[in-house]
């Protein structure tokens, strides 16, 4: 029983982190029309930034506060340097350029931080566990992590659903040409959306770092799983990304316990089932 409870919590935690990464991916594809393979790298860079920033400032939350704005600026720069040239190109070229970006980010990571996994300390005041049942504890940091993810998710939903900027984003998602025809500068809009996506992915990487540490290739796993989330949820749909992430998180958590060797196969099987039933994802436009 307690095992199930723990796995539910682990699944939710993984799902929430995944949502931060996948929401950026789905918005970038839905609005900018760019398949961004380098999205996982931003998660990876977030995790390594957590390593450096916690070493410097001594606390993961300070690292988060400093890292997210940095990631936003970094994202804006990447958009300006590379991504903006891809808006009118076909998917293939987007795949190629962002694939080449992965090569470069991986190299940068290896040069700056080396090839070995690095662990990032949990803040001492959160290193204890709380007892869920009489014989079962759960680390406080993970609960704090989930809380922050939920707050970030709510903040993002609020911005998208309730603000003028969010209305513009939603409009651009459904018809980018029209937004431009109405006189909005889509270049700025696109840059902000891309940078925000990078910031979210980096935030996920920073928050996850004390739990899963930083290691090379961490971005690949997140990227592929995020794509599965986007496909399940439907392109461009934040709601879909949210449900898809939690679904994948739970399936993965329980798969690891009950069919450990086939856990990763399971999420692709889930995707296949969703696609057969709903070819445009759960919340995608038909």
Partner 1 sequence: MLKAPSFRASILLGCLAALFLAAPLFVGPYGLKFVTRLVVFSTLVVSLDFLLGLAGLVSFGHAAFFGVGAYAVYFVSPEAASANALLALGAAIAASAAVALAIGAFACLTRGFYFIMVTLAAGQMIFSLFHDTDIAGGSDGAYINVKPALAAFGSGLLDFDDRRTFYYVCLALLVLSVLALSLLARTPFGRVVQALKANEMRLSALGFDIYKFKLAAFAVSGAVAGLAGGLFACIDGFVTPELFSWHESGLAIMMVVLGGAGTLFGPILGALAYISLEETLKSASLVGDLVASHWRLGTGASLIVAVLLSPGGLAGFFRGAARTRKPTPARLGQAPLESRKAATLATENLTRTFGGLRAVDGVTVSFERDRVHAIIGPNGAGKTTFTNLLSGALKPSAGEVLVDGRNVAGWPAHRIARRGVGRSFQRTNIFPAFTIEDNCRLAAQATHPSVLRLANSRRAQEDTLVQHALAVVGLADRTQAIAGAISNGEQRQLEIAMLIASGGGILILDEPLAGMGPEETRRVIDLLLALKPNHTIVLIEHDMDAVFAVADTLTVLALGRVIAHGTPEEVRRDEAVIAAYLGGHAPRGARP
Q: Which two tokens stand for residue 204?
A: 């996920």
- Beta carbons of 19 and 245 less than 8 angstroms apart: yes
Q: Closer CB to partner 1, residue 18 or residue 35?
A: 35
Among 91, 162, 187, 239, binds partner 1 (CB under 8 A): 91
**Does residue number 95 form part of the binding site for partner 1 (CB under 8 A)?**
yes
**Does residue number 3 form part of the binding site for partner 1 (CB under 8 A)?**
no
**Does residue number 269 form part of the binding site for partner 1 (CB under 8 A)?**
yes
**Does residue number 80 form part of the binding site for partner 1 (CB under 8 A)?**
no
* Residue among 5, 107, 124, 133 nearest 48 (CA): 107
**Does residue number 96 form part of the binding site for partner 1 (CB under 8 A)?**
yes
Contacts with partner 1, 102-141, as mask; x by CB under 8 A: xxx-xxx--x------------------------------
Q: Which two tokens stand for residue 235?
A: 């392109």
**Does residue number 18 form part of the binding site for partner 1 (CB under 8 A)?**
no
**Does residue number 263 form part of the binding site for partner 1 (CB under 8 A)?**
yes
H or E, element range at 168: helix 164-174
Alpha-carbon radius of gyration of the chain: 19
**Does residue number 215 form part of the binding site for partner 1 (CB under 8 A)?**
no
- Beta carbons of 71 and 64 less than 8 angstroms apart: no
Q: Which two tokens stand for residue 107?
A: 């190299």
Secondary-structure breakdown of the chain: helix, strand, coil percentages, each rounded to the nearest 5: 80, 5, 20
Residues forming contacts to partner 1 in the complex (CB under 8 A) are: 29, 35, 37, 82, 85, 89, 91-93, 95-97, 99-104, 106-108, 111, 220, 224, 227-228, 230-231, 235, 260-265, 268-269, 271-272, 275-276, 279-281
């Amino acid at each position: 029983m307690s095992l199930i409870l723990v796995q539910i919590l682990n699944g939710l935690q993984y799902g929430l982190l995944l949502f931060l990464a996948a929401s950026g991916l789905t918005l970038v594809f839905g609005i900018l029309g760019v398949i961004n393979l380098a999205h996982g790298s931003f998660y990876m860079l977030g995790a390594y930034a957590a390593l450096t920033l916690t070493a410097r400032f001594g606390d993961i939350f300070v690292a988060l506060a400093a890292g997210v704005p940095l990631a936003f600026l970094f994202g804006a720069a990447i958009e300006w340097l590379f991504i903006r040239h891809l808006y009118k190109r076909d998917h293939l070229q987007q795949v190629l350029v962002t694939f080449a970006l992965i090569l470069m980010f991986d190299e940068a990571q290896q040069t700056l931080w080396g090839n070995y996994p690095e662990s990032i300390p949990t803040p001492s005041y959160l290193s204890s566990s709380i007892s869920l049942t009489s014989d079962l504890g759960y680390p406080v940091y993970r609960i704090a992590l989930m809380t922050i993810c939920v707050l970030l998710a709510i903040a993002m939903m609020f911005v998208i659903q309730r603000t003028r900027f969010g209305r513009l984003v939603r409009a651009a998602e459904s018809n980018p040409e029209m937004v431009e025809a109405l006189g909005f500068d889509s270049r700025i809009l696109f840059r902000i959306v891309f940078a925000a996506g990078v910031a979210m992915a980096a935030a996920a990487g920073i928050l996850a770092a004390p739990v899963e540490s930083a290691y090379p290739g961490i971005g690949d796993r997140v990227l592929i799983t995020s794509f599965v989330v986007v496909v399940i949820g439907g392109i461009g749909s934040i709601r879909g990304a949210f449900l898809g992430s939690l679904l994948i998180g739970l399936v993965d958590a329980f798969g690891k316990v009950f069919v450990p060797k086939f856990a990763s196969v399971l999420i692709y099987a889930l995707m296949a089932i969703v696609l057969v039933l709903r070819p445009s994802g759960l919340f995608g436009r038909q």
